[in-house]
Amino acid sequence: MLSTATRLASRNLLSKPLASLAPRAGLATAASNDEKQIKVEFPDKWVVHKLDETQQPPSFAYTNRKELLDYFYEMTVVRRMEIAADTLYKSRMIRGFCHLANGQEAVSTGVEAALEKEDSIITSYRCHGFVYTRGEPVGTILAELMGREAGCTKGKGGSMHMFTNEFYGGNGIVGAQVPLGAGIAFAHKYNGRKNICLAAYGDGAANQGQVFEAFNIAKLWDIPAIFVCENNQYGMGTSAERSSASTTYYTRGDYVPGIRVNGMDVLQVREAVKWAKEYVLNHGPLVMEMMTYRYFGHSMSDPGTTYRSKEEVENIRRSRDPIAFVKGLLLENGLATEAELKELDNKARDEVEAGVAFAKASPETPPEHLFTDVYIKGHEVPYLRGRHTSETHYFQK
* d(C-alpha 137, C-alpha 40), whole Å: 31
The predicted structure's pLDDT at residue 154? 95
The bridge status of strand 37-41 relative to strand 60-64 is: antiparallel
Do 157 and 185 meet the contact criterion of CB atoms below 8 Å apart?
Answer: no
Q: Looking at the domain assignment, is residue 383 inside a domain?
A: no
The predicted structure's pLDDT at residue 332? 96
Assign residue 231 the CATH number of its domain. Answer: 3.40.50.970
* d(C-alpha 285, C-alpha 67), whole Å: 29
Q: Looking at the domain assignment, is residue 397 inside a domain?
A: no
Q: Looking at the domain assignment, is residue 282 inside a domain?
A: yes
Do 40 and 63 meet the contact criterion of CB atoms below 8 Å apart?
Answer: yes
* Domain with 308 in it: 4-365
The predicted structure's pLDDT at residue 376? 84
* d(C-alpha 359, C-alpha 361), whole Å: 5
* d(C-alpha 358, C-alpha 109), whole Å: 24
18 three-class SS = helix
Closest of 163, 162, 167 to residue 181, by C-alpha: 167
At 234, phi and psi to the nearest 5?
Answer: -140, 140
Beta bridge partners of 24: 41
* d(C-alpha 367, C-alpha 345), whole Å: 38
Q: Looking at the domain assignment, is residue 333 inside a domain?
A: yes
> Domains in the chain: how many in total?
1
* d(C-alpha 127, C-alpha 299), whole Å: 12
Burial class from Cβ neighbours inside 10 Å (0-12, 13-18, 19+) for residue 305 reads exposed
Q: Looking at the domain assignment, is residue 72 inside a domain?
A: yes
Q: Looking at the domain assignment, is residue 385 inside a domain?
A: no
The predicted structure's pLDDT at residue 147? 96
Helices (H), 249-308: 266-283
- To the question of pTM greater than 0.85 for the whole model, the response is yes
* d(C-alpha 94, C-alpha 86), whole Å: 9
Q: Looking at the domain assignment, is residue 186 inside a domain?
A: yes
Kindly list the averaged pLDDT for each block of 10 residues, start to end, along the chain of length 397: 38 45 41 81 96 96 98 98 97 95 98 98 97 98 97 95 96 96 98 98 96 98 98 91 94 98 98 98 98 94 90 95 98 97 98 98 90 82 82 73
The predicted structure's pLDDT at residue 391? 85
Do 140 and 150 meet the contact criterion of CB atoms below 8 Å apart?
Answer: yes
Do 206 and 252 meet the contact criterion of CB atoms below 8 Å apart?
Answer: yes
Q: Looking at the domain assignment, is residue 55 inside a domain?
A: yes
Q: At how many degrees (to 10) do helices 322-332 and 65-90 cross? A: 150
- Which DSSP symbol is given to 160? G
At 126, phi and psi to the nearest 5?
Answer: -85, 75
